[in-house]
Chains A and B, each alone.
Chain A
Amino acid sequence: MKRFLLGCLMAAQYFAVTYSVYSFAGSDNTISANPILSNSNSTPNPWLILQKASQAARELSYEGIFMYQSGSSGRSVQITHMNYGQGEYARIVVLDGTPREVLSQGKDVVIFSPRNEKVVIEKRRGQNLFPALLPSNMDLIKASYNIKLGAIERVGGRDGQVVNLEPRDQYRYGCKLWADREYGLLIKVQTINEQHEPIEQIAFNQLTLLNSQNMDWFQPNIDHDKKYVMEDNQDKNVAPEDNTWSVSKLPDGYRKIDQVTRMVPGKPYPVTQLIFSDGLASVSLFIEPLVKGVEPKIGHTVMGATNFYANTNNGHQIVVVGEVPEATVTQIASAVTFKK
């Protein structure tokens, strides 16, 4: 028994030593990449913590597994991200359910999604995705949210500094963020509703910095039994813009950041999509002419943090979707006005 206990102790000591050596190497890396962290004695500016989190997610090389939960659904996701000064490379694999896979190089994103007997290859432009969730420019967020420094909480074996983003009005959810005290990376993010309850969460279960420049991981896992096809891209059928409507009054803090018109499979008329963002939350507005024989959609539904509102106006189907409160989707839907 004594021998067993000794063995346990030895093992514990061994782990402690290797861990401290490892974390020393890790911190060395972090400090050289991000000098902001070094003066941790004074009260840190929470905006600087977020700025650093945004930077760290793009500049560091790391791998880990995080868990996304919204409503009743949840998925584990594996991420590998590398940046050794030659740009960003990342591979994201959804571990639960459909084995969706994403490879990105800089702003180019390629997605492999299995659908029945096929694997559909999609090309997309880059987005701000966890842990690189925050934009590099925080000005829009500063205008719509108040910031508060929270406690230090442990997440996935790492110490995280809590930062709370509290909405200035009812048109957006709050956000609680955990930034790794050593690496600066976001290790956990929660979307907080009006009742201060978390409604969506994404958090690392494990996270390590990479020390190798080996790129062998940067390739898709190919399923020999499936056909690979390119996504049917409908953007080519962009119709002349429908100018009979405009969006008059957006909720405070939201700006239009994009607009596309495209053909959607199964629909005879093009659908126009407008995207609005306050820097953190985003909302899409879809407008399409009503089709005879197809019942218009009217109503409201919630899926996790996503609110969905549908309405008709002047012979058009209007749909608003976003990770925002109900007040925001209804206000944006009613902001659509038609020229008489």
Chain B
Amino acid sequence: MKDQISALIDGEMPIESADHLFIALKAKNEISESWAAYHLIGDVMRGNAVFKPGFNERFMQKLELEPSVLSPRNFVSPRKSLAKTSSAWSIAASVAAVMFVGWVVLQQQVHNHVDAAPAQIAQNQITPNVASEYVLAHQSMAPSSTAYYIQPASYSESGN
């Protein structure tokens, strides 16, 4: 299933024959997470600007500027939409999936903020753990490095 999702995103699978994937996307959380992950990876690899830093801030700003539409629209029931042509159905699913990606990214960024605050080690002993933050920051900015992609062992073991 995930291979098919990947193939669909890469354009290796005709969209017409992907109805079952869209249904799965809607039904299964795991599958829609893969969908979001593959899109994110693809965007990063292609250098798309969609998820550049500050995405959630910019998104919320744009959302603030949007006029609020108070009149509710007629909700189309899933049964009806299934009866429509498959291409319209897939477009709707894609839109839903894109919104889902945005939501997932937002959610995860919120989680990140929570996770990212490390427990302060209040001591003036220089433990490898305290040092490793600085070592990482150093290695990621140094012009030449033998060690950069090989993080200090203490860092990976701290599991942060």
Chain B residues whose C-beta falls within 8 Å of the C-beta of A322 in the assembled complex: 138, 142
Asked if A47 is at the interface (CB within 8 A of a chain B CB), the reply is no
Residues of B within 8 A of A227 (CB): 33, 37, 104, 108
Interface string of B124-157 (1 = CB under 8 A from A): 1110101101110110111111111111110010
Q: A68-B147, A232-B113, A277-B144 are in contact. Are A121 and B44 (CB under 8 A)?
A: yes
Contacts of B105 in A (CB 8 A): 229-230
B27 within 8 A of A: no
A123 touches B44 (CB 8 A): yes
Q: Which residues of B contact A37 (CB under 8 A)?
A: none
Q: Are B146 and A265 within 8 A (Cβ)? A: no
Taken residue by residue from 9 to 25, chain B's Cβ proximity to chain A (1 for < 8 Å, 0 otherwise) reads as 00000000000000000
Interface residues of B in 55-103 (CB under 8 A from A): 55, 57
Q: Do A103 and B143 touch (CB < 8 A)?
A: no
Cβ-defined contact, A266 with B152, below 8 A: no
Which residues of A (97-138) have their CB < 8 Å from a CB of B? 97-98, 100, 102-103, 108, 110-111, 113, 115-116, 118, 121, 123-124, 127-130, 133-135
B149, A92: Cβ atoms closer than 8 Å = yes
Contact A258/B53 with A92-B149, A100-B151 known, Cβ cut-off 8 Å:
no
Q: Are A127 and B142 in contact (CB under 8 A)?
A: yes
Q: How far is the CA of A308 from the CA of B139 in the complex (A)?
A: 13
A133 CA to B36 CA in the complex, in Å? 36
Closest Cβ of chain B: how far from A111's Cβ, in Å? 8
**Contact stretch, chosen from A3-11, A142-150, A156-164, A290-298:** A290-298
Taking the complex as formed, is A316 at the interface, i.e. its CB lies under 8 A from any CB of chain B? no
Q: Assess whether A306 is in contact with B135, with CB atoms less than 8 Å apart.
A: yes
B-side interface residues, number (CB < 8 Å): 57
Contact, CB under 8 Å: B146 / A303: no
Q: Which of A13-21, A244-252, A278-286 is the interface stretch?
A: A278-286
Q: Is the CB of B108 within 8 A of A127?
A: no
* Partner among A127, A297, A303 whose Cβ is within 8 Å of the Cβ of B143: A127
| Min CB–CB distance B29 → chain A (angstroms) | 11
* Contact present for A124 and B140 (CB under 8 Å): yes
Q: Which residues on the B side are within 8 Å of A153 (C-beta)?
A: none
In the complex formed, the residue of B with least CB distance to A284 is B138
Kindly state whether residue A236 has any CB partner on chain B within 8 Å.
yes
- Residue from B41, B53, B109, B144 having most chain A Cβ neighbours under 10 A: B144
In the complex, what residue of chain A is closest to B154 when comparing beta carbons? A303
Report the stretch among A70-78, A80-88, A206-214, A330-338 that lies at the interface: A70-78
Roughly how many angstroms separate A257 CA and B138 CA in the complex, as a whole number?
13
Instruction: Determine the chain B residues whose CB is within 8 A of the CB of A301 once the complex forms.
Output: 126, 128, 131
The one of B108, B120, B125 in contact with A266, judged by C-beta atoms closer than 8 angstroms, is B120
User: Does A189 sit at the interface, judged by CB under 8 A?
Assistant: yes
A266 near B117 with CB under 8 A, answer yes
A273 near B141 with CB under 8 A, answer yes
- Is A12 located at the chain interface by the 8 A CB criterion? no
User: Which residues from A are CB-within-8-Å of B140?
Assistant: 124
Contact of B145 with A129 in the complex, beta carbons under 8 Å: yes
Closest to B128 in A: A303
Known A284-B141, A321-B131: A228·B148 in contact at CB below 8 Å: no
Known pairs A73-B152, A230-B51, A303-B128; list 6 more (Cβ under 8 Å): A75-B150, A228-B36, A275-B142, A295-B122, A297-B124, A306-B135
Binding site for B on A (CB under 8 A): 68, 70, 72-73, 75, 77, 92, 94, 97-98, 100, 102-103, 108, 110-111, 113, 115-116, 118, 121, 123-124, 127-130, 133-135, 189, 191, 200, 202, 219-220, 222, 224, 226-230, 232-233, 235-236, 257-258, 260, 264-266, 273, 275, 277, 279-284, 286, 293-301, 303-306, 308, 310, 319, 321-323
**What are 12 of the A-B contact pairs (CB < 8 Å)?**
A73-B150, A113-B151, A115-B159, A127-B145, A189-B146, A228-B40, A228-B41, A266-B116, A266-B120, A279-B144, A299-B124, A319-B134
Closest 10 CB pairs of A and B: A233-B53, A265-B116, A284-B138, A282-B142, A228-B37, A128-B144, A73-B153, A321-B138, A266-B117, A229-B108
Query: B: which residues have CB within 8 A of A?
Result: 2, 6, 33-34, 36-38, 40-41, 44-45, 47, 51, 53-55, 57, 104-105, 108-109, 112-113, 116-118, 120, 122-126, 128, 130-131, 133-135, 137-138, 140-153, 156, 159-160
